[in-house]
Amino acid sequence: MIVGGHYKPTKVQQEFHQRCLEHPIVLFVGATGSGKTTALIWQLIDDALMVPHNRGLLARKTYEDLERTVLEDLLLELEMSQIPYVHYTRKKQIVFPGSKSIVFLTGLGDTVKNLGRTKGLNVGFIAIDQIEELTREVFLFQLTRLRLPHVPKNRRHLFATANPVPETHWLYEFFVGFPEEGIAPKEGTAIVHASLDDNPYLPDGFKDLLLESMSPEEVDRYVAGEWGFVPEGKAVFKPFFQKHLHVQTVEYTPDYPLIIGLDFGYHRPAAVWVQIHGDPFDPVGRRVHILDEMLGRDMLLDDFIDIVKNRTSAYFPNPTAVLWCGDPYAATQRSDRAESIDMELRVKHKIALRMKRVPLETGLQNIVGLLRKNRLFIHPKCKILIRAFEGGYRRDENGEVIKDGYYDHLVDALRYVLDVFAPFGMIHGVESVVRAIRVKRLLGSLPAGG
Ligand SMILES: Nc1ncnc2c1ncn2[C@@H]1O[C@H](COP(=O)(O)OP(=O)(O)O)[C@@H](O)[C@H]1O
Ligand SMILES: [Mg+2]
């Protein structure tokens, strides 16, 4: 269906063009060199030629980058296919005399305020190269201008390319979502994936050259086109975390108490489920098992606690005891009910939060110690926490831990447990705590069931 003279789309490029006619918002994501920009260009040419009097936008974050990259490629494709066009450099427009369609060339900038000359423009299509460079705000604004009335519905669309981004990027939530947490991708979106192997037109040796110079994470992202984190700064748990050692299908057993670590917060509340195994009289032989994780999204404290409790009874029935750990600052922070969180938990949810004020760095050293001694094991279902350990949880160039709003919440939830039950890499038996709780309960000073 693509009208191009010399263009023979690859399989994935064909799929991309197909999706563009079926969905109003299409993302082509993949490795550098997998043919994304070429497909974007040909979708644009097709829209401009097939729809008379069409108006469209070809954009990148900055006009300078656009001019250097996509525009160069577009002009080359037009020349090689001998498609008539006029490029008005000062007006930053390309006009197709055959269909009388116009493509506006523009840089979109950082904020909606900078949109300038194209702000009020109505268009039939929008093509954005390297959309991951844009802010979500600027991207969302683009969608509001797809309203040129005479353009058929299947041609009224936004299509874009991106290199893979970390899961923390807005693009990921928008196009992929977090299905395990019940967050679906946005309606109307489609995503097409490409790796370097999907483009047979690359020069020989191109891939080898890339492979030689890249770290495994970079290969995943730039060659395989996977979503993922490319290191900036240093991974906190590297090289102490070793997937083949520390990820194991650790099973829940009702024989040991269940410990739940909580990190509060409306946007990204987090919980981890932990057990400490081993002979109570043999502290050396004890091990920490991380059984489960949960990262919530936009929920009030009550809802969060309800979900955690439901999950606990569903997956971890009849535990010896349930112990709750949390952010020591919860004691002073105010929740939405203007009570301190730990008071609210105690009164309303019958949860006695165990807290210990330990500096962040001490807590992290503690986790490193447990990893080194091979005494911390994570169930493979804890996908986010495993990625955090693999390198998602990082330090910036000054050595400060990055509060990425994603990995950090789960690591915090875990830290609160270990600060109480495994400080200085020494795993405390929970037995004495459980005994103390039983005594207190008997004396009536603690609610039952917490
Ligand atoms: N269908 C195709 N036919 C011929 N060459 C192609 C095709 N698709 C891509 N290429 C070439 O492969 C190279 C990389 O493609 P490009 O679209 O720039 O990749 P990306 O934007 O994913 O990095 C370019 O030289 C491009 O001309
Ligand atoms: Mg490109």
**Among residues 368, 402, 365, 366, which one has the least CA distance to residue 246?**
368
Ligand having the closest approach to the CA of 73: 1
Same domain, 278 and 355: yes
CA of 32 to the centre of ligand 1 (A): 9
Give the pLDDT confidence score for residue 429 in this predicted structure. Answer: 58
| Site to substitute for ligand 1 among 201, 204, 207, most atoms within 8 A of C-beta | 201
407 with 349, same domain: the answer is yes
Beta strands, E only, 229-302: 234-235, 258-263, 270-277, 287-295
Q: What per-residue confidence (pLDDT) applies to 289?
A: 96
Domain enclosing residue 311, as ranges: 243-443
Give every CB contact of residue 3 below 8 A, 6+ residues apart in sequence. 45, 46, 49, 50
Residue 450: predicted pLDDT:
39
| Cα 36 to ligand 2 centre (Å) | 6
Residues 6+ apart with CB under 8 A from 355: 325, 326, 327, 328, 330, 331, 342, 416, 420
Task: Retrieve residue 246's tokens.
Answer: 């520390």
Q: Is residue 234 part of a domain?
A: no
| Residue 237 domain flag | no
What is the rounded CA–CA span in Å between residue 185 and residue 24?
A: 13
Nearest ligand to the CA atom of 192: 1
Which ligand 1 atom minimizes the distance to the CA of 194? 22
Ligand 1 interacting residues, C-beta cut-off 6 A: 7-10, 13, 32-38, 161, 199, 201-202
Q: How far is the CA of 39 from the centre of ligand 1 (A)?
A: 8
Cα–Cα dist 78/4, whole Å: 9
Distances from the Cα of 138 to the Cα of 109, 117, 128, 166, 387, angstroms: 8, 14, 12, 19, 29
pTM exceeds 0.75 for this model: no
Atom number, ligand 1, closest to the C-alpha of residue 163: 22
Answer whether the bond into residue 328 is a cis peptide, omega within 30°.
no
> Is residue 79 in a domain?
yes
- Give the C-alpha separation, 421 to 427, whole Å: 6
Tally the residues of the chain.
450
Q: Are residues 218 and 247 in the same domain?
A: no
Taking the CA of residue 9 as reference, the ligand 1 atom at the shortest distance is: 1
Ligand index nearest the alpha carbon of residue 133: 2
Residue at 42 is within a domain: yes
Terminal alpha carbon distance of the chain: 64
**One domain for residues 183 and 328:** no
pLDDT value for 208:
81
CA of residue 292 to ligand 2 center, whole Å? 39
Residues 213 and 251 in one domain: no
63-to-57, 71, 123, 158 alpha-carbon distances in Å: 12, 10, 18, 18
* Helix intervals (H) in 106-151: 136-143
Give me the phi and psi of 95, to 5 degrees please.
Answer: -110, 135
At 385, give phi and psi (nearest 5°): -65, -40
295 with 413, same domain? yes
Q: How far is CA 85 from CA 39, 150, 151, in A?
A: 19, 22, 20
Give, using CA atoms, the residue closest to atom 13 of ligand 1.
33
Which residue's CA is minimally distant from atom 17 of ligand 1? 35
Nearest protein Cα to ligand 1, atom 1:
9
Task: Write the single-letter amino acid at 30.
Answer: G
> Of all protein residues, whose CA lies closest to atom 14 belonging to ligand 1?
33
Distance 32 CA to ligand 2 centre (A): 6
**What's the CATH code of the domain at 396?**
3.30.420.280
Could you give the 3-state DSSP secondary structure of residue 257?
coil
Distance 145 CA to ligand 2 centre (A): 24
Question: How many A from CA of 395 to the centre of ligand 2?
Answer: 29
319 and 384 share one domain:
yes
For 137-238, list the strands marked E by DSSP: 157-162, 189-194, 234-235
Contact predicate 296/255, CB 8 Å:
no
**Residues 198, 302: one domain?**
no
Pocket test residue of 6, 38, 44, 60 for ligand 1, highest count of atoms within 8 A of CB: 38
Residues 214 and 257 placed together within one structural domain of the fold:
no
**Are 286 and 214 found together in one domain?**
no
Task: List beta partners, residue 58.
Answer: 105, 127
Residues (pLDDT < 70) of the chain are 1-4, 114-118, 229-233, 280-284, 331-339, 424-450
Task: Count structural domains, the chain.
Answer: 2
Residue 175: give its domain's CATH number. Answer: 3.40.50.300
Residue (of 449, 380, 389, 381) closest to 414 by Cα position = 389
Ligand 1 nearest-atom number relative to CA 34: 22
Same domain, residue pair 290 and 159: no
